[in-house]
């Protein structure tokens, strides 16, 4: 189920059901949030239309990975839908951000996560969700007000950007393994062997939905990547960087990354969003 948006930047996204999955529990969204002004009528005899017919825009990129047999797809759907509604409402007032407005936007982002979390919990507690009480979702979002991206992250879906040929990750997996590594309770050489990399410490609809928030400044030529762990558990950073560094469209990059994950044996759902900055 591909979707794309092309303007000053080149965006593409796709999702693929895992080989052993009955349904695809991943969700993704690419949206353009725009505010424009154009002259309709005026008593002025001469107006430079370039001053009036100008469109400001932001782009919203979201991936979510549903958790819990039976309810994961519903959880990830609710998480993305609620977040998109809240961000669309918040973004209308935040073009040309100053410090105060930026703080307000960050507050709205946190509030959107709380709303999504509360909506999922409420559905889980209703009669039709009795059999899926463990349903939850990861959520990784980048709201691009070029050249700045506002990042929101819950769980272990990931965000990266390629700058000057170097791949950098701007999210940290919220898993038990990462927690133990950070406090020195798990040796680096045992990472990935304990199975704790699959135990989430935060999720939308879970016990703790506290998001991590951050900022990423991007430039023309940079590439953004958001993805679920169906990709990253099987394709290493070096291979990802090599694909993102090629002279390819965002659609071609998505397809190359998907092919690499499938070739490596991924049987999980895979969702990928790629954004190429400053494409004419």
Alpha-carbon gap, residue 215 to 83, rounded angstroms: 18
- Rounded to whole angstroms, how far apart are CA atoms 191 and 198? 11
Asked if residue 40 has pLDDT above 60, the reply is no
Q: Which sign does the torsion angle of CA 67, 173, 158, 63 carry?
A: positive
Domains assigned to the chain? 3-33+57-276 (3.60.40.10)
- At 120-168, the pLDDT tens digits run 888 877 756 555 667 899 999 999 988 899 999 999 999 999 999 999 9
Percent pLDDT > 70 in the chain is 81
Question: Residue 33 CA to chain centroid, in angstroms?
Answer: 15
Highest mean pLDDT among 46-50, 103-107, 209-213: 209-213
Both structure tokens of 213: 């928030």
Q: Give counts: helices (H), strands (E), the chain.
A: 7, 12
């Amino acid at each position: 189920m591909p979707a794309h948006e092309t303007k000053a930047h080149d965006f593409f996204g796709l999702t693929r059901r895992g080989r052993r999955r009955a349904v695809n529990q991943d969700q993704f969204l690419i949206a353009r949030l725009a505010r424009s002004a154009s002259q309709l009528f005026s008593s002025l005899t001469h107006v430079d239309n370039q001053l009036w017919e100008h469109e400001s825009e932001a782009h919203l990129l979201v991936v979510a990975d549903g958790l819990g047999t039976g309810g994961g797809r519903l959880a990830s759907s609710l998480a993305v839908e609620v977040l998109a509604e809240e961000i669309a409402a918040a973004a209308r007032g935040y073009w040309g951000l100053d410090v105060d407005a930026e703080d307000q936007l960050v507050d709205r982002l946190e509030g959107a996560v709380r709303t999504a979390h509360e909506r999922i919990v409420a559905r889980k507690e209703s009669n039709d969700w009795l059999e899926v009480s463990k349903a939850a979702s990861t959520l990784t979002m980048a709201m691009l007000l070029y050249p700045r991206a506002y990042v929101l992250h819950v769980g272990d879906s990931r965000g990266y950007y390629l700058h000057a040929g170097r791949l950098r990750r701007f999210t940290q997996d919220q898993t038990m393994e990462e927690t133990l590594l950070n406090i020195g309770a798990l040796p680096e050489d045992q990472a990935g062997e304990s199975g704790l990399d699959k135990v989430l410490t935060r999720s939308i609809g879970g016990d703790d939905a506290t998001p991590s928030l951050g900022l990423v400044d991007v430039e023309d030529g940079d590439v953004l990547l958001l993805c679920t762990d169906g990709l990253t558990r099987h394709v290493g950073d070096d291979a990802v960087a090599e694909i993102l560094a090629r002279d390819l469209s965002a659609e071609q990059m998505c397809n190359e990354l998907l092919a690499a994950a499938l070739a490596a044996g991924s049987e999980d759902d895979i969702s990928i969003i790629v954004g190429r900055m400053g494409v004419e």
